[in-house]
Structure 1
Amino acid sequence: MIRLAFLLYALIATTMMGVLVIAVLTMGHAALWPIVGAAAAGAVLAVPVSWLVAKAIVDRTG
């Protein structure tokens, strides 16, 4: 399951980072540190999300 979680992390992290960076830019914060912070937050939040998605896939496929 850990390999599936790593594979999913690559997809989920980039998506979450992109969404949070776009949200920061939409709020008008075009400086470096808000963008870096949003990207870092997306990378950190993607860890449990990818683990839960991998667990759900493994549970459903047996």
Structure 2
Amino acid sequence: MMRLFFLIFTLAATALAGIGVTAVLAAGMDGWQPIVVSAGIGAVLALPAAWIATQKIRAL
């Protein structure tokens, strides 16, 4: 189950971090700090998303 979790986490973290970075850049916030913070928030939000997705797949 951990392998499935890490696989889903890798995909979800990449997608959510990318969405966050795109939103920050579209808002006109330049600099490395807002980009890093938004990417970090995306990665942190991917943890529960990956866990929930893994549980739902295992239930099938």
TM-score range, shorter chain: over 0.9
Unpaired runs of 5+ in structure 2? none
Paired positions, count = 60
TM-score by length of 1: 0.91
CA RMSD of aligned residues (A): 0.7
Q: Separation in 2 of the partners of 1:21 and 1:37?
A: 9
Letter in 2 for 1:42: G
TM-score, with normalisation over the residues of structure 2? Answer: 0.94
Distance, in Å, in 2 between the alignment partners of 1:59 and 1:2 is 15
- List, as ranges, runs of 4+ consecutive aligned residues in structure 1 with deviation greater than 2 Å: none
Kindly report which structure 2 residues correspond to 1:1-62, keeping only aligned pairs within 5 A, or say none: 1-60=1-60
In structure 2, C-alpha distance between the alignment counterparts of 1:12 and 1:42, rounded to whole Å:
9
Identity value in percent = 43
Q: Give, in whole Å, the separation in 1 of the partners of 2:37 and 2:53.
A: 24
Q: Which residue identity does 1:22 align to in structure 2?
A: T
